[in-house]
Structure 1
């Protein structure tokens, strides 16, 4: 379960030093947009130190690499050797790019005796949106995510929630069709000042089935952790659904009522999934509220 992914600029010693204290489920070390062109090689060369530093709190570590032909493979190789868990791959237009990356990394991973890096493709232009389902089925894909600002720019549009809603939902549906995770809110993450709006957007995203979201400011992490974790009332109802199903099965009934609500197979499946999610949250927080 990955509820929150905190971006950290790969050249910011201050943010890197504190990243492990923020409570994010994952840290994304950014070598792309957050790093100026003249410092990209420097950020890459420090990855071993950076990955070790941000991992200290137990978070997963991803590296957002550059899609520039001169930087793509060296960035990915360095992230692999540094011990990152996965790559955020920007501007993915088709699964061939992911296959290219996987083929290049495989011998390095074998030599290191390490697990293969997972990929999170970023869908960042209108054409890629329509190919998102194929991208989601590409090699090593853990999740899909939208590059909201880039999509809006490519459309000649403003990154308002109304503009971003349809493209983000299309990418989300592609992720679910491909059986991978879906990260995001139905708005841009760049505007993080309005906490109430962010909390509402995170709750809405979870209702739509998003699994978590990224953020660029540490103050947003607890908002995401809370929104993407089930509440006690939800868990209580889910427990009673599962308990009632056992009684109904003994009576030979496939459908039944709980609190006056009709329950059948899809609702039972959601209840079981919710309880599994709740157990995962509890393990992350040591039994404390998420």
Structure 2
């Protein structure tokens, strides 16, 4: 997919009305750059942000990493205009859809995207879609959203809005929505979701702890709002040397094809455990470990 390998760990958000910041982000080391047309852009700058982003994506290779675009709220006319202006451009690697509550909303965006000039150059006329769940209804409909259209490649949480909707002030109240997103994504055959942004860009220790918790829940990687967060996220999500060694031991034990077996330390090994070990090694190898 890109120089960083097929398993992205970092998505860096940048405001669409600041092309110079977008250009800098393309060289930041992020696996994917997400140009934001929604929350990061003031209302009077929305049209400019869209045109500047379209200019960037009009080139087939806008930079060394894929570029996604988070379009405006699907309940506004801006969303249709964003999708139709950008979906057919060769430099677009994906559309991120904010505040998705229903499967019908995803289908609506796919229809807008298919109507975009140049969309016919894509396999089915629709770029990869990534739905953001930011409401109680979105969480309840997580699986139907994840399976709403063949172009859906991932789901994730928008935790700032979700906290406000649910009245959650701590981490405990988000435990179920987080697990729900992970389970729905995997049940739909999608990659594990990335964690939502950690808002304090100065708190590297807090970010690392939060990433460790997210990894334990089944997330893979994280969105970021500042380049300084990227190496912290990568370190947190990369398998440790000990984890790589343990995975190699599991794969060796399971390579005989004799069914379930046990390692000398008592760990039980079956096909599911071997598959998990293979995922660990794949991630390590993709990141040059």
Structure 1 match to 2:228? 219
The Cα of 1:78 is off from its aligned counterpart by 2.0
- Cα shift readout 1:121-149 (whole Å, capped 9, x = no counterpart): 11111121111111111112111111111
The yes-or-no answer on 1:85 pairing with 2:96 is: no
The equivalent position to 1:75 in structure 2, one of 61, 69, 82, is: 82
Partner of 1:62: helix, strand, or coil?
strand
* Paired position in structure 2 for 1:234: 243
Shift in Å at residue 259 of structure 1? 4.3
SS of residue in 2 equivalent to 1:81? coil
In structure 2, distance between residues paired with 1:266 and 1:166: 24
Q: Which runs of 5+ in 2 are unaligned?
A: 1-6
1:43 Cα deviation from its structure 2 partner:
0.4
State the partner residue of 2:15: 9
Per mean C-alpha deviation after superposition, the further-off stretch among 26-35 and 9-18 is 9-18
Structure 1: any 5+ residue segments left out of the alignment?
283-288
Q: Is structure 2 residue 211 aligned with structure 1 residue 205? A: no
Cα RMSD after superposing both structures: 2.3
Check if 1:151 corresponds to 2:158: no
* Shift >6 Å, 4+ stretches: none
Q: 1:236 to 1:245 in 2, by over 3 A?
A: same
SS in 1 for 2:229: helix
Q: Aligned pairs, how many?
A: 278
Q: Does 1:161 align with 2:159?
A: no
Structure whose residues are more often helix by fraction: 1
- The answer on 1:136 being equivalent to 2:146 is yes
Instruction: Work out whether residues 29 and 230 of structure 2, in 8 Å CA contact, stay in contact via their aligned partners in 1.
Output: yes
CA contact (8 A) 2:87 2:119 kept: no
TM-score (norm 2): 0.87
